[in-house]
Amino acid sequence: MNTTTTPPGRALLQDHVDARTVAAETDAAADRNTIVQLDPDHPGFRDEEYRARRNQIARIAREYEPGSPVPDAPYTSEEHGVWRAVWEALEPAHARHACAEYLACVGRLKLPRASIPQMREVSARVEALSGFRLEPVAGLVEPRVFLESLASGVFLSTQYIRHHSTPLYTPEPDVVHEIVGHAVTLASGRLAELNRLVGRAVRRTSSAAELERLSRVYWFTVEFGVLREEGRVKAYGTGLLSSAGELEAMHSAELRPLDLEAASRQEYDPTHFQPVLFCAGSFEEMYEALREYLLRRS
């Protein structure tokens, strides 16, 4: 995997089905001002300023009251530059590889290209379009908590951005993935509906095995779904749409017909480009198949 061109890396995206990301409290003997723990191989591990800013952002989420406006994150000019660099790579990739529904949502949401938008701004725009809102999280959230929140029209989102030394790579989900991937797709009424149905189906699960099956369906559709438009393979999955590298790599994957029962049994590795993707014949086919599948479980 070319880690200079793809976000997923070692841990990205698994947050949505295995646990939300990577801000945790240290023990009592540690520095009380340190909230975020980064692995030694994280690009920002030795950058004290970046770690301090990550701690500030983590505290925003820890102190957040659900339903209230989300406080602004303290982004730097360097981090705004990272956002610009990501968009420079993604815009031409979207033009080639993104499905029409996603491109229409990009037009509706009108995200800035020059600077990172604040979550409160993006949340307000998305809520006006589909009723979904974004709420910040700072620490690990159980898979059931994350997925069930979708039933209420709430997307639990990180606010921090990847380290400036690797603008096209992150080992964890960041604001690029959350906004460029999830927030944009949640500006679609039909994709927002499917997210809600995922949450409702998860609420009805009574076993870890059932939750795992739904998590895999979520992975192979909402996160890494592809479909055909005018004879070409296009992406509607957020993990693909937030990474120029993943958008290119999807054309090397084994494409299987969309079969949600098969997807619910298909294992995956979030640390590499996906070798297997499930491809619908059209957006309408994907929407109807996934909606029916989830309604039977809601």
Q: Which residues are catalytic?
A: 177, 182, 223, 242
Q: Are 281 and 227 in contact (CB under 8 A)?
A: yes
pLDDT mean across residues, the chain: 88
Residues 6+ apart with CB under 8 A from 68: none
**For residue 139, pLDDT beyond 90:** no
In CATH terms, is domain 14-63+74-295 a member of 1.10.800.10?
Answer: yes
Does the pLDDT of residue 87 top 60, yes or no? yes
- Predicted confidence at residue 35, as pLDDT, reads 65
Q: Where are the domains of the chain?
A: 14-63+74-295
Nearest CA to 219 out of 276, 174, 162 is that of 276
Sequence-distant (6+) residues with CB within 8 A of 124 are: none
pLDDT value at 225 more than 80: yes
Q: Look up residue 41 and give its two tokens.
A: 């191989």
For the cut 90, the answer to whether the pLDDT of residue 80 exceeds it is yes
Task: Please give the structure tokens belonging to residue 91.
Answer: 């815009």
Q: E strands within 13-124?
A: none
CB distance 105 to 236 below 8 Å? no
User: How far are the Cα atoms of 144, 148, 211 from residue 205, in angstroms, in the given order?
Assistant: 9, 10, 6
Determine the straight-line distance between the first and last CA of the chain, rounded to whole angstroms: 37
Could you read off the pLDDT of 241-288 as tens digits, one per residue?
Answer: 999 999 999 999 999 999 999 999 999 998 889 999 999 999 999 999
pLDDT higher than 50, residue 27: no
Cβ-Cβ contacts under 8 Å for 246 (sequence gap 6 or more): 6, 7, 8, 239, 240, 273, 274
Nearest in space to 93 (alpha carbons), one of 237, 225, 233, 246? 246
Banded pLDDT at 140 (limits 50, 70, 90): low
Q: Report pLDDT for 4.
A: 36
**Lowest-confidence range among 7-11, 211-215, 228-232?**
7-11
Mind giving me the DSSP string for 172-216?
Answer: S--HHIIIIIIIHHTTSHHHHHHHHHHHHHHHH--SHHHHHHHHH
pLDDT tens sequence across 146-199: 999 999 999 999 999 999 999 998 888 899 999 999 999 999 999 999 999 999
pLDDT of 141 over the 90 cut: no
pLDDT digits (tens, 9 = 90+) for 109-128: 999 999 999 999 999 999 99
Cα 269 versus chain centre, distance = 16
On whether the CB atoms of residues 187 and 111 are closer than 8 A, the answer is: no
pLDDT at 142: 80
Q: How confident is the model at residue 34, as a pLDDT?
A: 52
**What distance in Å separates the CA atoms of residue 103 and residue 94, rounded to the nearest whole number?**
8
